[in-house]
Amino acid sequence: MAGELPEYYFRVRENGAAVFRVDTENRNRRIEMDQIAVVNIRNGEIKPHGERTLSDADLDRIRGWMEERARLLALRDIDDIHRAVDYLNLTTQWVQSKATDEQLDAVTNDLLLAMHDLRSTLVRKKADRVLK
């Protein structure tokens, strides 16, 4: 294998991860992964797997992963919003240059309602910020 394997592996789940300790120092020289915990990013909970007790090193590494994961998810959120702006622009170009009447009939109401909802929310939030 190229390089050393990490000591821990985090199998990402919707709200966190299952945490495994990676072992390559066994007699069969196989990669073994022993689940040691389940973590929840939203509430910060770390649950040891089974009857296991987590060491301070385990907890430090898990907390470090949780902090890094939260940063990554925040970056992805804002990137998704920038992509949404691009999609809106591409949609406008499609409506103006390519869309057929039938295609427009199929999407116009949904787009108008979604855009109205977004605009109303953005205006309200901006007003809240200005009044602070």
**Does 48 share its domain with 18?**
yes
Where are any strands of DSSP class E within 41-126?
45-48
Contact 39, 15 (CB under 8 A): no
Counted domains in the chain: 2
Same domain, 32 and 87: yes
pTM of the model: 0.74
Strands 32-40 and 8-13: unpaired
Q: Examine residue 79 and state whether it is found in any structural domain, yes or no.
A: yes
18, 69: one domain: yes
> How far apart, in whole angstroms, are the C-alpha atoms of residue 33 and residue 3?
17
Tokens representing residue 59 in the block: 């907890």
Task: Give the range of the structural domain holding residue 121, as residue numbers without chain letter.
Answer: 101-132
Is residue 112 assigned to a domain? yes
* One domain, residues 33 and 17: yes
The pLDDT tens digits for 11-44 are 999 999 999 999 877 767 788 899 999 999 999 9
Please indicate, yes or no, whether residues 53 and 113 belong to a single structural domain of this protein. Answer: no
